[in-house]
């Protein structure tokens, strides 16, 4: 296996001469020994009769002969005694003399804190094992989380232990110290008259302390300027709302209140500061099994997004056309505006949206994607105003982010000034413009004109390499901060661990710039002492401080929404130009679902997480639709898989060309992607980092600062080169009939047949088994239910499982070999509808813990066994690795360690591991355990406290992470448990029933709610190919639900939904 991409951190050949911690420590010790020895020699050379060994003795071959060896040994013995008298080095890690009360070795502690993402707060709880943060969970109290998390939060803990982190500060690449830096910085600032020529470049942030420090800086140096750099800036919303209401604002959606949601290119569950919260709110209207009043979601989108894949009705169009559709909707709602000509499908779609929006009135919601124009934002929200939805399903609050609204323009001004030589000192804190800024700005060239520049960050990255100084920045778990959530709720973020290296946080560096060096703790406390005005005593400020830290946010600090806003309808009279498709290909830029704008590119968990929809790992691609691929004659050798010409799919590499800007990359065809548009993702093409380097292309080559998201008129140059992609699932929609994996029905159909999922497949007798029956009616019997209505396919469960269960990453080559290790995966099935549209189904799949487990009977050494609680257990120590169990598992959820995937060498990575979960070695099978370590912990807890087990005592890692609560876990024989109630629902079903495996994980059948105008077949009564079998078991069909049994075909002679190809 020649992996260019390291399987995880720990490659010893760091290109940046970053040594692993162990090496650093070793060298440190060696140097210290040398120091001691040489100092002794210096001091006492005169007293020793024989100098240090040299080559003058007889035996020069080995350097040491018997005599000199004896002398040296004698000398060493003497030195050893002396060394005992020297001062020992300062050790920061010491055992507790007095153990803190709350720390019980072996028991983790949880601390609330907040992580900043795109400038906004994500509320999290961090698990800490003896001072080591190991796992991130959602903060159930925090409004942006309510207990859920996203992939980035889950994976962020690994960045803390990234062995590529810069251990110390560097001057022109050479290690140096912070004191020298501050001295040089003061000198450089002193040269700028009252700060003229001093520029500070910050990422988007909602930190109040940062704002305070910036103000202080400007007070001291009034001529200095502060800029913001954000490659994924969502400024268009604020600008659009400014257009509409006269002042910049940001929106807060209430998806739980919306009966009808219309999204104009809005991926609110994938790209939003509140994506976790929005997913939760959205899913609350989809949890049909709890009697939710089902919403209807229309998506008009220019990509295939996670959010769009959950739409009841989805219209894929070019990004440039979305505004046209929105205008047509506005016209339909009685507004006067210029709408383009629509095609048949679009007309029907607009008609359906308009009628539903009208019907829903104030319970409707229109949302617009951040990459769409300010005009569309204004227009979309004007529709909200028109429908009186403002104040109900959507509210507007003051922008929470610091810095200017027009971020891109502001940044362009900075770069222009740099080119002009007006910038003397440039401070870049936690930004990496050299990688992210559009190449047309020539930032690298501009940076050469800056006399004194420094950058802080965790990696010695692209920008750091070109700066005068590169400062080691802290990870968010190492420092204090404060920030605001999407709704303005404020939080104080506390660190979980002292900085691993000599790192400085952005706030600390800002305080240096502002003229007074303080620690982040002091800075944040100062901010809040001033802000709260509370007395500095136990009952005053201290209580506030402790409560805020404990809760992870400050109660009641959410921004008040604007009331009585007056909307201007100027936007309607704006001319609309519909870019024609024959003008060329359209390019839409999107942050990558795995590595975002590249900030997570050095995180192997995220690199190896299959992107939703495409299941792509370790790469960035150009996504196009099959029709467009045909139009541009892009050859897809992966068709050969079907035509059996090649074993491994390869895709063609093309060169995109927009206004002489070019970018090369592989093409991935995704059905359901809009025609005539190509999606280009950010986040690839990093130059540094053992994990990130060489993965994908850098979209900065094609982007411009003026039009960062959508560009028209691209041309395609097909290159005669092909590339293999690391996809975790076969690429094309597969047509395998009759598997009945995803079972779904329309809302009305469901009301007629509430147990349609079990009706769809013939139910066999569960008593048909040769093995004796095991008594599963006592004690605790674990089981899981996954609600396919609420699962949005975001993959948070996958990363959570990886973090919880010490699952190794395997690297690009091994993913291509089909050996990824994720215990839980999100299966993706495309469904091609008759009207040519593509629908996407997702199905989280982990070990289903069969009661009749096929894997158990075939293991020759008994390494996989069943517990009395119904767990299918894996005994790693006993496993010899025949892989028979994996072959015999119909769900294919077992994962084999073909090589030694676990990184046992890199010291820093070891700190992340969950001490409650065994680390697996080569040649051993592994799989989902239902988080048995958590079960055991909870069982011990209940025994210690002498109480019975309660529902909700145990939460599995996937369940805990899931932002939509799609996963329920618990004791299935406790009739009051949530999981038992779900299992009793008519919608509950297991897949592959004829195998009689009696899976403990079951699914809740999907209930769709498309507009019947667009999909008339959804109103037809369900019929079943298999009548309710003689052995219908406990799922007996209720009497008289009116569904005709026995007939196999619809009136048109087409097989009914259960026979569809997925």
Residues of the shown chain interacting with other proteins in the complex, contacts defined by CB under 8 A: 1, 641-642, 644, 647-648, 729-730, 734, 736-739, 741, 814, 817-820, 825, 827-829, 843, 845, 854, 857-862, 878-884, 886-888, 890-892, 895-900, 922-925, 991-992, 994-995, 1062
Give the DSSP letter of residue 362: G
Q: Which is nearer to other proteins, 820 or 965 (CB)?
A: 820
Length of the chain (residues): 1062
Tell me the closest approach of the beta carbon of residue 786 to other proteins, in angstroms. 14
Q: What's the distance, Cα to Cα, between the start and end of the chain in Å? A: 34
Copy the structure tokens of residue 641. 């898989």
Nearer to other proteins among residue 549 and residue 885 (C-beta)? 885
In the complex, least distance from residue 228 CB atom to other proteins, rounded to whole angstroms = 42
Task: Give all strands (DSSP E) within 88-131, no chain letters.
Answer: 109-117, 120-129
The neighbour count for residue 569, using CB atoms within 10 Å, is: 16
Q: Token pair of 977, please?
A: 């448990």
Q: What is the DSSP-derived secondary structure letter of residue 255?
A: G
DSSP state string for 623-692: EE-HHHHHHTT---TTHHHHTTS-SS-EEEEEEEEETTEEEEEEEEE-TTSPTTEEEEESS--BSSSTTT
For residue 1024, give both structure tokens.
Answer: 């079943």
- Which of 161, 829 has the CB closer to other proteins? 829
For residue 846, the minimal CB distance to other proteins (Å) is 12
What does each C-alpha distance from 88 to 15, 22, 82 come to in angstroms? 34, 20, 12
Q: How far apart are CA 928 and CA 753, in angstroms?
A: 34
Tell me the closest approach of the beta carbon of residue 922 to other proteins, in angstroms: 5
CB of 859 to other proteins, least distance (A): 6
Compute the least distance from the CB of residue 864 to other proteins, in Å: 9
| 243/825 with CB nearer other proteins | 825
- Show the tokens assigned to 1053: 């002679």
Nearer to other proteins, 412 or 742 (CB): 742
* Residue with Cβ nearer other proteins (532 or 996): 996
CB-based burial label for 88 (10 Å; 0-12, 13-18, 19+): exposed
Q: Show the 3-state SS of 477-490.
A: HHCCEEEECCCCCE
Strands (DSSP E) contained in 833-974 are 838-845, 864-866, 872-874, 895-896, 925-926, 967-971
DSSP letters along 683-743, please? S--BSSSTTTBTSS--GGGT--SSSSSEEEEEEEEEEEEEEE-EESS-SS----TT---S-
Give me the phi and psi of 756, to 5 degrees please. -60, -35
**Minimum distance from CB of 635 to other proteins (Å)?**
19
Q: Which of residues 519 and 817 has its CB atom nearest to other proteins in the complex? A: 817
The CA distance from 456 to 464, in Å, is 7
Number of helices followed by number of strands (H, E) in the chain:
31, 38
Query: Which CB sits closer to other proteins, 394 or 727?
Result: 727
Given the complex with other proteins, which of 674 and 811 has the nearer CB atom?
811
We find the least distance from the C-beta atom of residue 808 to other proteins, in angstroms, to be 13
Beta carbon nearer to other proteins, 173 or 881 = 881
- For other proteins, the closer of residues 212 and 895 by Cβ is 895
> Toward other proteins, which CB reaches closer, 862 or 1044?
862
Using the minimum distance from each CB to other proteins, give the nearer residue, 752 or 817. 817
Would strands 425-429 and 120-129 be described as parallel, antiparallel, or unpaired?
unpaired
Rounded distance between C-alpha atoms, residue 329 and residue 12, angstroms: 58
964 φ/ψ angles, rounded to the nearest 5 degrees: -110, 5
To other proteins, the closest distance from the beta carbon of 94 in angstroms equals 40
The distance of closest approach from Cβ of residue 646 to other proteins in the complex, given in angstroms and rounded to an integer, is 9
Query: Which residue, 127 or 820, is less far from other proteins as judged by CB?
Result: 820
Instruction: With beta carbons less than 8 A apart as the criterion, state whether 125 and 136 touch.
Output: yes
Nearer to other proteins, 717 or 861 (CB): 861
- In 378-529 the beta strands, taken as DSSP E runs, fall at 394-397, 425-429, 452-457, 469-472, 481-484, 490-493
For residue 197, what are the CA distances in angstroms to 82, 191, 424?
Answer: 56, 9, 5
Buried b (16+ CB within 10 A) or exposed e, 928-947: bbbbbbbbebbeeebeeeee
Half-sphere exposure in the Cβ direction for 658 (13 Å, CA): 27
Asked if residues 283 and 964 have their Cβ atoms less than 8 Å apart, the reply is yes
Of 356 and 814, CB closest to other proteins: 814
What are the beta bridge partners of residue 977? none
Minimum distance from residue 743 beta carbon to other proteins (Å):
14
**Closest to other proteins by CB, 109 or 995:** 995
* Nearer to other proteins (CB atom), residue 515 or residue 1046: 1046
Nearest approach, Cβ of 647 to other proteins (angstroms)? 5
Distance CA 505, CA 902 (A): 31
Decide if 366 contacts 262 (C-beta within 8 A): yes
Nearest distance from C-beta of residue 891 to other proteins, angstroms? 6
- Least distance from C-beta 858 to other proteins, angstroms? 5
Smallest distance from other proteins to CB 854, Å: 5
User: Are the beta carbons of 456 and 472 closer than 8 angstroms?
Assistant: yes
> Quick one: which of 900, 905, 893 has its CA closest to 920?
900
Classify residue 874 by its DSSP letter: E
User: From the CB of 923, what's the least distance to other proteins, in Å?
Assistant: 3
CB 926 to other proteins: min, Å: 11
| Shortest Cβ 636–other proteins spacing (Å) | 15
Is residue 232 within 8 A of residue 436, CB to CB? The reply is no
Locus of tokens 């830096």: 181
Q: What would you report as the CA-atom Rg of the chain, rounded to the nearest whole angstrom?
A: 31
């Amino acid at each position: 296996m020649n992996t260019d991409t390291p399987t995880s951190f720990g490659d010893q050949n760091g290109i940046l001469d970053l040594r692993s911690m162990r090496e650093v420590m070793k060298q440190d010790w060696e140097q210290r020994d040398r120091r001691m020895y040489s100092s002794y020699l210096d001091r006492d050379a005169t007293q020793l009769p024989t100098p240090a060994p040299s080559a003058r003795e007889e035996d020069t071959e080995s350097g040491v002969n018997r005599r000199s060896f004896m002398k040296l040994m004698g000398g060493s013995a003497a030195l050893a005694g002396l060394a005992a008298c020297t001062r020992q080095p300062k050790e920061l890690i010491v055992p507790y003399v007095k153990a803190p009360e709350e720390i019980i070795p072996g028991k983790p502690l949880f601390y609330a804190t907040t992580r900043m993402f795109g400038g906004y707060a994500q509320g999290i709880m961090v698990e800490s094992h003896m001072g080591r943060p190991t796992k991130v969970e959602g903060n159930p109290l925090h409004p942006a989380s309510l207990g859920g998390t996203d992939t980035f939060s889950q994976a962020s803990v690994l960045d803390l232990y990234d062995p590529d982190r810069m251990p110390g500060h560097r001057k022109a690449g050479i290690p140096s110290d912070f004191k020298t830096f501050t001295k040089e910085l003061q000198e450089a600032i002193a040269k700028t008259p009252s700060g003229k020529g001093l520029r500070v470049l910050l990422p988007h942030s909602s930190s109040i302390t940062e704002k305070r420090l910036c103000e202080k800086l400007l007070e001291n140096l009034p001529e200095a300027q502060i800029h913001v750099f954000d490659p994924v800036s969502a400024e268009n919303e604020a600008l659009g709302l400014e257009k509409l209401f006269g002042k910049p604002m940001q929106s807060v959606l209430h998806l739980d209140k919306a009966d009808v949601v219309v999204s104009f290119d809005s991926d609110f569950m994938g790209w939003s500061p509140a994506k976790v919260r929005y997913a939760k709110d959205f899913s609350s209207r989809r949890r049909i099994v709890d009697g939710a009043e089902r919403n209807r979601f229309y998506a008009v989108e220019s990509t295939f997004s996670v959010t769009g894949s959950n739409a009841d009705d989805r219209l894929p169009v070019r990004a440039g056309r979305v505004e046209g559709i929105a205008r047509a909707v506005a016209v339909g709602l009685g507004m006067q505006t210029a709408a383009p000509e629509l095609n048949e499908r679009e007309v029907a779609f607009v008609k359906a949206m308009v009628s539903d929006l009208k019907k829903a009135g104030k319970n409707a919601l229109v949302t617009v994607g951040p990459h769409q124009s300010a005009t569309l934002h204004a227009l979309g929200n004007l529709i909200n105003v028109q429908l009186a939805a403002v104040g109900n399903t959507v509210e507007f609050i003051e922008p929470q982010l610091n810095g200017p609204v027009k971020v891109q323009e502001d940044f362009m001004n900075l770069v222009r000034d740099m080119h002009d030589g007006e910038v003397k000192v440039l401070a870049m804190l936690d930004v990496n413009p050299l990688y992210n800024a559009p190449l047309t700005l020539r930032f690298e060239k501009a940076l050469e004109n800056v006399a004194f520049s420094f950058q802080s960050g965790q990696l010695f990255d692209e920008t750091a390499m070109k700066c005068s100084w590169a400062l080691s920045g802290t990870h968010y778990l190492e420092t204090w901060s404060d920030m605001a959530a999407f709704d303005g709720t404020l939080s104080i973020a506390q660190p979980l661990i002292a900085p691993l290296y000599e790192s400085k946080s952005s706030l600390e560096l800002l305080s240096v710039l502002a003229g007074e060096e303080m620690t982040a703790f002091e800075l944040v406390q100062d901010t809040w002492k001033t802000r709260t005005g509370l007395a500095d005593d136990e009952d005053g400020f201290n209580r506030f401080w402790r409560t805020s830290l404990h809760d992870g946010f400050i109660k009641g600090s959410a921004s008040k929404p604007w009331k009585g806003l007056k909307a201007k309808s100027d936007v309607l009279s704006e001319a609309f130009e519909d870019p024609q498709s024959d003008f060329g290909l359209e390019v839409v830029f999107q942050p990558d679902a795995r590595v975002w704008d590249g900030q997570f590119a050095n995180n192997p968990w995220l690199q190896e997480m299959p992107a939703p929809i495409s299941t792509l790992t370790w790469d960035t691609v150009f996504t196009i639709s099959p029709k467009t691929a045909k139009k541009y004659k892009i050859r897809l050798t992966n068709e050969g898989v079907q035509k059996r010409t090649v074993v491994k799919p390869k895709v063609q590499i093309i060169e995109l060309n927009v206004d002489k800007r070019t970018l090369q990359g592989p093409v991935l065809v995704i059905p359901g992607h809009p025609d005539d548009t190509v999606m280009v993702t950010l986040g690839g093409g990093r130059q540094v980092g053992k994990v990130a380097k060489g993965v994908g292309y850098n979209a900065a080559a094609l982007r411009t600062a003026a039009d960062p998201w959508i560009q028209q008129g691209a041309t395609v140059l097909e290159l005669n080169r092909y590339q293999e992609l690391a996809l975790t699932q076969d690429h094309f929609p597969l047509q395998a009939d009759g598997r009945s994996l995803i079972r779904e029905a329309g809302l009305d159909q469901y009301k007629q047949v509430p147990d349609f999922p079990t009706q769809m497949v013939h139910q066999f007798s569960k008593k048909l088994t040769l093995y004796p029956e095991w008594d599963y009616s006592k004690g605790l019997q674990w089981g899981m239910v996954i609600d396919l209505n609420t699962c949005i396919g975001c993959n948070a469960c996958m990363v959570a499982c990886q973090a919880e269960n010490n699952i190794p990453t395997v690297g690009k080559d091994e993913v291509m070999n089909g050996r990824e290790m994720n215990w839980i995966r999100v299966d993706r099935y495309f469904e091609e509808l008759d009207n040519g549209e593509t629908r996407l189904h997702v199905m989280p799949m982990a070990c289903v813990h069969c009661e009749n487990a096929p894997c158990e009977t075939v293991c020759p050494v008994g390494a996989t066994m069943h517990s009395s609680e119904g767990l299918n257990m894996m005994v790693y120590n006993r496993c010899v690795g025949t892989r028979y169990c994996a072959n015999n598992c119909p769900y294919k959820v077992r994962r084999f360690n073909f090589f030694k995937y676990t990184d046992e060498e890199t010291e820093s990575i070891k700190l992340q591991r969950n001490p409650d979960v065994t680390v697996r070695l080569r040649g051993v099978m592994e799989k989902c355990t239902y988080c048995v370590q958590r079960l055991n912990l909870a069982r011990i807890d209940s025994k210690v406290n002498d109480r019975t087990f309660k529902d909700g005592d145990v939460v599995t890692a996937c369940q805990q992470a899931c932002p939509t609560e799609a996963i329920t876990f618990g004791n299935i024989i406790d009739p009051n448990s949530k999981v038992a109630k779900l299992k009793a629902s008519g919608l509950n079903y297991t897949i592959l029933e004829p195998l009689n495996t009696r899976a403990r994980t079951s699914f809740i059948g999907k209930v769709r709610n498309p507009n019947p105008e667009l999909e008339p077949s959804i109103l037809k009564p369900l019929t079943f190919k298999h009548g309710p079998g003689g052995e219908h078991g406990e799922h007996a069909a209720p009497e008289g639900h009116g569904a005709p049994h026995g007939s196999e075909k619809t009136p048109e002679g087409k097989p009914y939904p259960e026979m569809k190809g997925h």
